[in-house]
Structure 1
Amino acid sequence: MSKTAVVFPGQGAQYVGMGRDLYERFPEARRVFEEASAAAGFDVARLCFEGPEERLQLTEFQQPALLAVGVACWRVLAARGLEPAAAAGLSLGEYGALVVAGVLELGDAARVVRLRGRFMQEAVPPGEGAMAAILGLEARAVEDLCRQVVAEGAGVVEPANYNCPGQIVVAGHRAAVEAAIVRARTAGARKAVLLPVSAPFHCRLMEPAAQRLAEVLAQVPLRPARIPVVANVTAEPVTDPERIRELLVQQVHRPVRWEQSVRRMQAEGITRLVEMGPGKTLTGFARRIDRSLEAVPAGTVEEILALVARPEGGLLA
């Protein structure tokens, strides 16, 4: 029998217009946007639907916006019978997974991720940090070349995201990231390019942001998870609220182990991932990790209705 996990994407999945069809079609989705707006302190629906794109790109606003769209997708499917066995999310997406698991209230999550985005943006002065995607090298090769660059004194650079086989993102000081790109190309990488991001996420340069986030999270009530949430930092399922609090702080400055998280869910018997929110990034990663794992997007009305309409034995069985 199939076991389903719901997964939530991170930053980069956003686009102007995301979630509008859900808002117009489903009252459950409208309530999510209203709740997120009240908690985050700005009109989340308007930003998602109308932009401007420049504001949606700002980490402080992008994080609550993506959270709202993902949770809206979840609430619509939950109202129609979806009962997942586990949840996970890439970086920011982990907060959506924690809402699904009952650890966080949506309002608390929206407030926290807006501050999280602000802290991450302010941790490194503009222009000093960077991230790069390296495609076509094994993880160990990327780790080695990062160590070589650091040993040469170019600055900090280290793996930030283990997305799927042959796709690693690195982050750190801009000069060090650029040096890592050169080394990766020399080592035979199929592609090594800077990413259009505003800060070097998930590396040690984010430690100041993690410290500030810890102070915020200390005041936020967390409950035991109803279903296991596979944590980015450890790629292990977790249900204890205090351990979750610790891992959310660590997540800011440690790498996201997404490939390992997916494989861990498979080891727990998960056979299907449903991606909640805009885009199909995690669906694509899943297919590169293991093609036997079913992965389906659920970010639009059309996609959600297609899932609900599956015959007996399908998604909602």
Structure 2
Amino acid sequence: MGKTAWIFPGQGSQAVGMGQTFLDRPETLQTIGRRLGFDLLDVMAAGSKEELQQTEVAQPAIVAHAASLALAYGETGAAPDVVIGHSVGEYAALVIAGVIDLEEASVLVRERGKLMSEVKDGTMAAVIGMTDVAEAFHVTEKISASGNLVQIANYNCPGQFVISGHVDAIKQAETELKAAGAKRVLPLDVSGAFHSAYMMPAASRFKDVLASSPFKPASIGIVSNVDADVHTDPDQLKALLAEQLYASVRFEDCVRKAIDSGVDTFIEFGPSSPLSGLIKRIDKNVTLKQVTTLEEVASLGGEVRA
């Protein structure tokens, strides 16, 4: 029998009504909400699409949702061999690996979201149907050299990546990438150029936030977005989480790293399951499971204790 990876999506996976599954188990989310300064459970259960799109709200909501589901599954005796998060999803992975508790993770990503949302320059776009990533990298480098920054922000799966940068550079990249073979370039509804050099000032400030957070050594290997390698050391994890703000998310490499280590089953916990579709395009032979509610936790096997 192969190994299992638990995976956690990032911003964009939030959905209206996502917190309703926790209304019968409100205590933890209510406690976290008091520390955050807003009613987290209420926003997750009844908040509008506009509220959930605010970066400083979306990030703690996504992490709290995903980690709560995974912790509930852990109560049945289940445990992963490795954990992977996509961008802010790495904080749910930290919780499951025992590095920090859910309350601390929620506070960190709330601050992370605030710092990211303060950087107003730039936008992002998804590039679909272009498999020549080397050519795409060449295009972005050439455009950036002309004065307006654009970078590959997410390497998601074969035929799909995300670019991030100055609005004009994104428009130019759309034209040139389509000429180079991209089928579609889709603007993303984001507030800034995440995972690009525009985020370096936010990363510098967030590094100071992370410095005071009580990280413990990970009990389960965490595959980092930055280098697609397995880490457990708390100081290394902090450094990588700061760098992650402006570095590319190498999700495809993270998945391949897990598969190379013997993982053949991926369980995605979160408000929705965008990563499962990406993994299917990376390797069709792996087993994929999705968990978006506590009822689905129970369906994986074992009863969730109240």
User: Once the 2 structures are TM-superposed, how far is the Cα of residue 32 of structure 1 from its aligned partner?
Assistant: 3.3
User: Once the 2 structures are TM-superposed, how far is the Cα of residue 242 of structure 1 from its aligned partner?
Assistant: 0.4
Paired residue secondary structure (1:170):
strand
Find out whether 1:303 has 2:301 as its counterpart: no
User: Once the 2 structures are TM-superposed, how far is the Cα of residue 137 of structure 1 from its aligned partner?
Assistant: 1.3
Question: How far does the alpha carbon of each residue in 1:248-307 deviate from its partner, in whole angstroms, 9 at most, with x for none?
Answer: 000001010000000001111111111111111011111010011111111123432321
RMSD: 1.4
Find out whether 1:72 has 2:60 as its counterpart: no
Q: Which runs of 5+ in 2 are unaligned?
A: none
Find out whether 1:23 has 2:16 as its counterpart: no
Question: How far does the alpha carbon of each residue in 1:162-203 deviate from its partner, in whole angstroms, 9 at most, with x for none?
Answer: 011110100011111111011011112111121111111000
Q: Are 2:83 and 2:222, in contact at CA under 8 Å, matched by a contact in 1?
A: yes
What is the aligned partner in structure 1 of residue 137 from structure 2?
143
User: Once the 2 structures are TM-superposed, how far is the Cα of residue 309 of structure 1 from its aligned partner?
Assistant: 6.4
| Aligned pairs for 1:98-137 within 5 A | 98-123=94-119, 125=120, 128-137=121-130
Distance 2:97 2:163 in 1: 30
Find out whether 1:182 has 2:175 as its counterpart: yes
Distance 1:8 1:53 in 2: 21
Q: Are 1:63 and 1:92, in contact at CA under 8 Å, matched by a contact in 2?
A: yes
| Aligned pairs for 1:28-47 within 5 A | 30-47=26-43
Distance 1:207 1:151 in 2: 18
What is the aligned partner in structure 1 of residue 49 from structure 2?
53
Paired residue secondary structure (2:14):
coil
What is the aligned partner in structure 2 of residue 201 from structure 1?
194
Find out whether 1:84 has 2:77 as its counterpart: no
Paired amino acid for 1:216:
V
Aligned residues: 302
Paired residue secondary structure (1:92):
helix
Distance 1:39 1:87 in 2: 26
What is the aligned partner in structure 2 of residue 264 from structure 1?
257
Q: Are 2:156 and 2:252, in contact at CA under 8 Å, matched by a contact in 1?
A: yes
Paired amino acid for 1:145:
V
Alignment match of 1:248 (pick from 210, 222, 241): 241
Find out whether 1:285 has 2:281 as its counterpart: no
Q: Are 2:123 and 2:190, in contact at CA under 8 Å, matched by a contact in 1?
A: yes
Distance 2:222 2:27 in 1: 24
Q: Are 1:32 and 1:71, in contact at CA under 8 Å, matched by a contact in 2?
A: no
In structure 2, relative to structure 1, the CA distance for the partners of 1:92 and 1:185 (3 Å cut) is same
User: Once the 2 structures are TM-superposed, how far is the Cα of residue 52 of structure 1 from its aligned partner?
Assistant: 2.3
Distance 2:163 2:242 in 1: 19
Q: Are 2:72 and 2:294, in contact at CA under 8 Å, matched by a contact in 1?
A: no
Alignment match of 2:91 (pick from 95, 104, 109): 95
Question: How far does the alpha carbon of each residue in 1:64-111 deviate from its partner, in whole angstroms, 9 at most, with x for none?
Answer: 111111111012101112111111100000000000001112111111
- The percentage of counterpart residues that share the same residue type is 39
Find out whether 1:157 has 2:150 as its counterpart: yes
Find out whether 1:173 has 2:166 as its counterpart: yes
Q: Are 1:119 and 1:213, in contact at CA under 8 Å, matched by a contact in 2?
A: yes
Distance 1:187 1:32 in 2: 50
Greater than 4 Å deviation, 4+ residue runs: none
Q: Are 1:274 and 1:295, in contact at CA under 8 Å, matched by a contact in 2?
A: yes
Q: Are 1:3 and 1:271, in contact at CA under 8 Å, matched by a contact in 2?
A: yes
Q: Are 2:76 and 2:302, in contact at CA under 8 Å, matched by a contact in 1?
A: no
